[in-house]
Structure 1
Amino acid sequence: MSTLAALRSWRGLFLPLAVGAAGLAAAAYLAAVDPNQPGHYPTCPFLAVTGWYCPGCGSLRALHDLAHLDLAGALARNPLAVLVVPYLLMSWVLWVERTVTGRVPRRVAPGWSIWVLLAGIVVFWVLRNVPGWTALSPA
């Protein structure tokens, strides 16, 4: 690799590293400021308007619990958020790798998987709002 190519590679790393630093700063803030205490974070607009939980309701509390290594508490607040965290971390690592090596990664999942993911999110959204069933509610 030439010196110019190496310089471009490091210059290209600025955005992935900035996103990683912002994510770490957000995680540190969320670990330090408890979302279970009122007044620190805004309420969910969808919940405020409709009274129903959206797929993201409870995510701040779940991520706070994850930051304190409380997996059971995080799963109780929002299991979908807990499942998304490893995917986001893997995507960031692949982004950094792609930036450094210049290689385009092979397809990780088939195209239809996005539809399965979206259907899963909708099913999760509906199930957490079934009256009388609180298994998936973030409360």
Structure 2
Amino acid sequence: MEIIKKYKFLSVVVLLLLCGGAVYIFYRYNPETSGFFLQCPFKLLTGYDCPGCGSQRALHALLHGEIKQSFAYNPLFIIAIPYVILGFIFNQDKVKAKYPGFRKVLFGQKAIYIILFIVIAFWLLRNL
């Protein structure tokens, strides 16, 4: 049991370091002007934006406090951030046990279909 706790702690530390490094890179370097950020393969092949296009620029703008500009780059990304954070919170064992109904509403099968519909609708509407 002690070994499991040790590796769980280590994995959390590694994850935090990786996330911190990613945040630093996106804060420091602008994806619009820096050459080492990946371009969207879907957009390169088709010329159309995918649902994730603009997310790197949106994150960079958000980290600099430019919320309006960030939303202009990719509104779906900005709206999804609180939902993803809630997902991490509701994935904790204590929270899972305490709020199973709320978790099911936010992350159950119906929620998956609703999110899929929203992503596809966003994808289509942004390319009209």
Structure 1 residues 8 and 39: CA distance shift in structure 2, 3 A: closer
Normalized per residue, which structure has more helix?
Answer: 2
Question: Residue 122 of structure 1: CA displacement?
Answer: 0.1
| Equivalent in the alignment of 1:111 | 109
Alignment root-mean-square deviation, CA: 2.2
Distance between the aligned counterparts of 1:25 and 1:50, measured in 2? 32
Q: Do the aligned partners of 1:47 and 1:54 also contact (CA within 8 Å) in 2?
A: yes
What does residue range 1-139 of structure 1 map to in structure 2 within 5 Å?
8-95=4-91, 97-98=92-93, 104-105=96-97, 106-107=100-101, 108=103, 109=105, 110-130=108-128
- Per the alignment, in what secondary structure is the counterpart of residue 13 of structure 1? helix
Residue ranges of structure 2 left out of the alignment (5+ in a row) = none
Larger Rg: 1
Question: Residue 32 of structure 1: CA displacement?
Answer: 0.3
Structure 1 residues 115 and 82: CA distance shift in structure 2, 3 A: same
Question: Residue 24 of structure 1: CA displacement?
Answer: 1.9
Residue ranges of structure 1 left out of the alignment (5+ in a row) = 131-139
1:124 partner amino acid: F
Question: Residue 30 of structure 1: CA displacement?
Answer: 0.6
Question: Residue 8 of structure 1: CA displacement?
Answer: 3.8
Q: Do the aligned partners of 1:20 and 1:92 also contact (CA within 8 Å) in 2?
A: no
Q: Percent identity?
A: 27
How many residues in Structure 1 have an aligned counterpart in Structure 2? 122
1:71-117 alpha-carbon deviations (Å, 9 max, x no partner) = 1011000011112222333333445x43xx6x744251242110000
1:52 partner amino acid: Y
